[in-house]
Structure 1
Amino acid sequence: MTVTSGPASGRTAAPAEAPTHRVALAFEDGVTKFIDCREDQTVADASYRQRINIPLDCRDGACGTCKALCESGDYDGGTYIDDALSPAESADGYALPCCMKPRSDLVLQIAATSDVAKTQAAEFSATVVGLERLSPTTMRLSVEIPNRSELAFLPGQYVNIDVPGTDDGSGSPVRRSYSFANGPHEDTLVFLVKLTPGGAMSTYLTDRASTGDLLTLRGPHGSFFLRESMRPALLLAGGTGLAPILAILRKLRHDGSARRIHLIYGVSTDDDLVETETLDRMQSEVAGFTWDHCVSDPGSSAANKGYVTSLIAPRHLYGGDVATYLCGPPPMVESVRRHFVEAGIEL
């Protein structure tokens, strides 16, 4: 007698659906689009099903047209010929979306503009829910959008915001770019704004803005974002360049990361120094996170006077095996780059 076992109903159980991962497609023009891709599905298939036409001439790894750099995540590269993707390119992190299948969330650099892929940055209608003057020079702007689940972004990215009541000369409102200071998992969107006399957004926030105002956001954009890794990281922030760093820290806290992270936060004056209580709290909540700050104004009351480069110590560099994230005004960015070049460290 043969005995078989199965569902009590006698019906065959449906096969389990393959796990699904989020794939970020970062285009050359700064637009980032997110798609959902199952582990039994190629990235190209998932992309086309979600109406994003990444460059593609074949679907079997024969031409190399879709070649993309995978900046973060694990995947099965699939089967292809060396003419389409050489072993050296594969070792450098390149893959073919027409063949690759995700094993985790991915970030892919697509060698085309969003225009070519027949897609564009998404547009969102936001309501102002918070206006907080953090200091004489800095405002925290908080907004909410009704379709929050549709706005996916990588910690470190930014959106363009239309400034109400302005005109750029062509009939369109003036737009300004601001990095998210909130984590990708948080419902309220938060931005730090440096108040500049006469600035379009600064004037709006200080003279006309109120809770309940409607704003238009477009994005996300940008190639500055947290890469998945357990390498130690050195974060360097200048002024309101702290915003994307806060997004990164909030993501690490949410993930329960134990990655070793050190932040050096530099500002011009004592008035520019904000969110210190937040950073102190992060230090107690994010394992492995430490931070320090400096003020370049010689008359500052800060313990450390000078620039962020003055606080970079050998212990922060781990012999070169460190991921460095740098965000701030152009003079600061250039100063840091020069510092690393002179030290023989490649950024």
Structure 2
Amino acid sequence: MSFQIALNFEDGITRFVECRPDETVAEASYKARINIPLDCRDGACGTCKSRCESGSYDGGDYIDEALTDDEAEQGYCLPCQMTPHSDLVLRIPSSSAAAKTSAATFGATLAGIRHHSPSTVEFTLDADERDGLDFLPGQYVNIAVPGTGQSRSYSMSSGPTQRQLSFLVRTVPGGAMSGYLTERARPGDRLEFTGPMGSFYLRQLARPMLLLAGGTGLAPLLSMLERMAQQPVGHPVRLLYGVTGDQDLVHLDTLADYAEVIPSFTFEHCVADAASSARNKGFVTGLIDSSTLHDGDVDIYLCGPPAMVDAVRGHITSLGVIPASFHYERFTPAAVHETAEAA
């Protein structure tokens, strides 16, 4: 028996290792040739101090100078001493290069393409080595655009256990991936991608959650919901989804399906266009108040274009509510991801 340990480095690259209950995370990492920061190996120096964001473990033996009681209560740990009781997600305070590792590259076949509207395309990939590809729900990969020498970053809308990888793309005039998907893409095309990457991913379900999506920023949140559909969720989960026009709305049926299988999940959508047929017209900020934020006892996941992300952050600040955690990701038309964490 072994557990899966996700090592998320400060440059956003994530590597996965298998760790037995009777070995430390550091030992398992070194066996996989991933050199996480390490000096003493006996819990005395604190060089390997990391933060566990999901899972349970035995912290092992160490001295206070290496890890204080307050740090341990906040989820900090020493990989050189800890042994897993479950799958774990660790944030490692070094770059992947310093650990002498890097993101993996995979080949894939374009399995399908769906044009939801003139502005939104969805495509699916069959990865050549799917069993060797792990990712955290919410993460992204860099996909090489066929025939261009360029690459673009897209979050998976599919969950980690689904065989096919799915992506939502907002098309833009002159865009490299937009041009490929709307003009040249055909099922059977060969593509290559690198990953997984990103620090925008689902953490442990510890309190009520508010998911906020702008446009194709819905993609990583769909991946998170797929994971939640496979495990008990003991807290309310609310998703607010905003788009510019009715034609930009996608996967409302999918969200309704998740509401059937995740008892605590509810969602609403809004459309900025005043001529929309949607019940809620305007922006997602109009759907956020102190009760939506559970007076701060909430974990927020926000993904969308920069203007939307900044507007939501500003609105929450204006309400005077400080959430327990706030994870957000901006994306630009060129699909360059910028992830951050607040609170």
Do both share a fold (TM > 0.5)?
yes
Quick check: 1:258–1:287 contact (8 Å CA) kept in 2? no
Aligned-pair CA distance for 1:317? 2.1
- Within the candidate set 183, 188, 201, 1:225 is matched to 201
Q: Write the letter of the residue equivalent to 2:313.
A: R
Task: Write out per-residue CA displacement over residues 146-174 of structure 1, whole angstroms, 9 at most, x where no aligned residue.
Answer: 211111001000000000010xxxxxx21
Counterparts of 1:298 and 1:174, CA distance in 2: 37
Quick check: 1:294–1:308 contact (8 Å CA) kept in 2? yes
Counterparts of 2:202 and 2:282, CA distance in 1: 27
- Within the candidate set 208, 212, 219, 1:243 is matched to 219
Quick check: 1:156–1:180 contact (8 Å CA) kept in 2? yes
Q: Write the letter of the residue equivalent to 1:247.
A: S
- Within the candidate set 79, 99, 116, 2:98 is matched to 116
How many percent of aligned residue pairs carry the same amino acid?
55
Aligned-pair CA distance for 1:298? 2.0
Alignment-derived partner of residue 304 in structure 1: 280
Counterparts of 1:88 and 1:289, CA distance in 2: 33
Q: How is 1:116-265 mapped onto 2 (pairs within 5 angstroms)?
A: 116-166=98-148, 173-265=149-241
Quick check: 1:258–1:286 contact (8 Å CA) kept in 2? no
Aligned-pair CA distance for 1:228? 1.7
Q: Write the letter of the residue equivalent to 1:194.
A: R
What secondary structure, in the 3-state scheme, does the structure 2 residue paired with 1:115 have?
Answer: coil
Aligned-pair CA distance for 1:209? 0.6
Tell me how large the CA RMSD over aligned residues is.
1.2
| Number of matched pairs | 323
Q: Which runs of 5+ in 1 are unaligned?
A: 1-18, 167-172
What secondary structure, in the 3-state scheme, does the structure 2 residue paired with 1:243 have?
Answer: helix
Counterparts of 2:121 and 2:261, CA distance in 1: 25
What secondary structure, in the 3-state scheme, does the structure 2 residue paired with 1:254 have?
Answer: coil
Alignment-derived partner of residue 24 in structure 1: 6
Alignment-derived partner of residue 55 in structure 1: 37
Alignment-derived partner of residue 42 in structure 1: 24
What secondary structure, in the 3-state scheme, does the structure 2 residue paired with 1:315 have?
Answer: coil
Task: Write out per-residue CA displacement over residues 93-127 of structure 1, whole angstroms, 9 at most, x where no aligned residue.
Answer: 11110001111111111111000111100000010
- Within the candidate set 249, 252, 272, 1:273 is matched to 249
Quick check: 2:157–2:222 contact (8 Å CA) kept in 1? yes
Counterparts of 1:60 and 1:205, CA distance in 2: 53
Task: Write out per-residue CA displacement over residues 36-91 of structure 1, whole angstroms, 9 at most, x where no aligned residue.
Answer: 11111100000000111101111101111111011111111111111111222222
Quick check: 2:8–2:90 contact (8 Å CA) kept in 1? yes
Task: Write out per-residue CA displacement over residues 169-217 of structure 1, whole angstroms, 9 at most, x where no aligned residue.
Answer: xxxx211000000111100000001011110000000111100001111
Q: Write the letter of the residue equivalent to 2:316.
A: F
Aligned-pair CA distance for 1:250? 0.9
